[in-house]
Structure 1
Amino acid sequence: MKKRQLGTSDLYVSELGLGCMSLGTDATKAQEIIEAALEAGINYFDTADLYDFGTNEQIVGQALHHVRDKVIIATKAGNRLNDSKDSWSWDPSKNYIKEAVKASLSRLGTDYIDLYQLHGGTIDDPIDETIEAFEELKKEGLIRFYGISSIRPNVIREYVNNSNLVSVMVQYSLLDRRPEEEVLPLLEKNGIGAVTRGPLAKGILSEKMLEKATKKGYLDYQLEELQKTIPLLREKLFDARSMTEISLQYNLAHSAVSSVIAGASSVKQVKENAKAVEAEPLSEGEISIIKAITKMSLYEQHR
């Protein structure tokens, strides 16, 4: 599988990364999925301390222990678990991040994290303090690089302008093209890698398509709009391509994107996603058709 440089870092990530949130808590099954990812050429694994209240990090760390020097492990912090570990609150403070990284390192069974990310954030956060925490962790050798996971353009802009982050994880798909207007151009201009999540729009853009749609629709698409848009995409583009292929290749077609993160709850899904990423890139004509059929929305509430 092809690899792309993550921003200005020396991390070269596979074009498809494995989103580990959907692995579940069965360590044996998770190990099978991760092994399938490794066999497919995936070297980028994304987890977070919040997933299954830390259990996900433990499972991922154990499964990758034998190939630790060959893979890129990304995790996230900022969601502080309460004492009973059944809920959490937002805490991007320097003290908490420096405390959280040690817990993540322990659960992952490693002495360094390749990419440490802030798991959200608002414009009212103590951003300077958060950046200080990341910079100190780099100097201490506990993390190699840092980034943020956010869909808030104003927050992203603050980190781009005031920190040395190398990546921004952002939701992006055929049904969520909001990053194209503000976020992706900003990242590309500043040499920061975009890592995209949600490329299959909760399964609506997978082979199951409208089976996964709910009465609420998806973002600013009403269900009736989806019932028109998805079949039209299929009619115009589907010759030999699957919907998964079109969806993942659309993300990778943007030059700001370093890797697209897709979850998988089975070995079959890993193989399908890997096959889709290794397919022929979309042509300019196909991209034009997609843009003509889908919406170009803007960020409104999430600033």
Structure 2
Amino acid sequence: MKKRRLGHSDLLVSEIGLGCMSLGTDEKQASEIIQAALDEGINYFDTADLYDFGVNEEIVGRNLKSVREQVYIATKVGNRWNENKDSWSWDPSATYIKAAVKDSLKRLATDYIDLYQLHGGTMADNIEETVEAFEELKKQGYIRHYGISSIRPNVIKEFTETSELDSVMMQYSLLDRRPEEWMPLLENKQISIIARGPLAKGLLSEKMLEKANEDGYLDYSYHELKDLLPQLKDKLSNRKLNETALQYTLSHPSVAAVVSGASSVKQLRENCQAASSPSLSKTELDILKQLTKASRYESHRE
């Protein structure tokens, strides 16, 4: 598995990371998927305190304990479950972040978190306070690096101007090219993109329209998808569709890792095989860009 540097950190993360949200709570099945990921050379595991009320962190921690020094664990903070655990509220305060990190460390059974990410963010937040909390946690050794998980342009811009973050996690795929607007800025700042949702909820897999619904997907109507998806497959007929999708996302140097979920070992291995295939040629990239929309995120700007 090839590796890329995360931001200006010393972390060399595997091009494919395991998005742990899809592991579920079946310990045996989750363990099999995590072990398969390790066997494939994956060293980046991405979870969050929100997933399964923290159980996801516990499963990840237990299964990575024996290889802790060889892997990078990323988790997220900011979404706070209520007492009944039937809804959550947003809390990016320093007080909450500094308390939540200790809970995550305990669940993950580790002394440090490699990448701690703010799980959202708005311009109404006290961003300076949030950044100060992350910097304090770095100095104390609880976290090694920090980033944000957001697609909001004004939030991304503010963090790039006021902090030393190493990464921005964004949904990014052939069907959601909005992050491309931010690539020049992030590359200039040496901030990496962690791409999630590279297969667009399964639309960019061999199942294609089986995963579609009548509402379409983002800027694409169902009828547009019905026309587009077979073209994406046919124009690059020597490649499987998930291979095309993953290689497109990895074609951008600003992307450090593509975080893909896997609910089975088979699915995980298919993703890793696709990622290890030859890179897309310029001709192939041009075809894909001509077929798809270079959309922009219109809300949450200046």
Instruction: Give the TM-score of the pair, scaled to structure 2.
Output: 0.98
| 1:84-133 Cα deviation digits (max 9, x unpaired) | 22221000001000011011001101010000000001111110000010
The residue type equivalent to 1:222 in the other structure is S
Aligned residue for 1:86, secondary structure, equals coil
Which one of the candidate residues 285, 288, 291 is aligned to 2:289?
291
- State the alpha-carbon separation in 1 of the partners of residues 58 and 85 from structure 2: 15
1:267 aligns to what? 265
Aligned residue for 1:137, secondary structure, equals helix
Asked whether the equivalents of residues 177 and 296 of structure 1 are also in contact (C-alpha less than 8 Å), the reply is: yes
What stretches of structure 2 of length at least 5 have no aligned partner?
Answer: none
| Residues 1:206 and 2:205 aligned together | yes
Aligned residue for 1:4, secondary structure, equals strand
- State the alpha-carbon separation in 1 of the partners of residues 26 and 17 from structure 2: 20
Aligned residue for 1:158, secondary structure, equals helix
| 1:212-241 Cα deviation digits (max 9, x unpaired) | 0111100010000000010111111122x1
The residue type equivalent to 1:74 in the other structure is A
Q: Would you say how many aligned residue pairs link Structure 1 and Structure 2?
A: 301
- State the alpha-carbon separation in 1 of the partners of residues 237 and 78 from structure 2: 41
What stretches of structure 1 of length at least 5 have no aligned partner?
Answer: none
Q: CA deviation at 1:302?
A: 4.3
| 1:72-95 Cα deviation digits (max 9, x unpaired) | 000000001111222210000010
Matches within 5 A, 1:240-251: 241-251=239-249
Asked whether the equivalents of residues 151 and 302 of structure 1 are also in contact (C-alpha less than 8 Å), the reply is: no
| 1:170-215 Cα deviation digits (max 9, x unpaired) | 110000011112x222111111111100100000001111110111
Aligned residue for 1:99, secondary structure, equals helix
- State the alpha-carbon separation in 2 of the partners of residues 301 and 264 from structure 1: 31
Asked whether the equivalents of residues 7 and 191 of structure 1 are also in contact (C-alpha less than 8 Å), the reply is: yes
| 1:32-79 Cα deviation digits (max 9, x unpaired) | 000000000000000000011111000010111110000000000000
1:226 aligns to what? 225
- State the alpha-carbon separation in 2 of the partners of residues 238 and 148 from structure 1: 37
2:83 aligns to what? 83
| Residues 1:106 and 2:130 aligned together | no
Q: Which runs of 4+ in 1 moved over 2 A?
A: none
- State the alpha-carbon separation in 2 of the partners of residues 127 and 168 from structure 1: 15
Question: What RMSD over aligned residues (CA atoms) do the two structures have, in Å?
Answer: 0.7
| Residues 1:163 and 2:163 aligned together | yes
1:301 aligns to what? 299
1:48 aligns to what? 48
Instruction: Give the TM-score of the pair, scaled to structure 1.
Output: 0.98
The residue type equivalent to 1:148 in the other structure is I
The residue type equivalent to 2:201 in the other structure is K
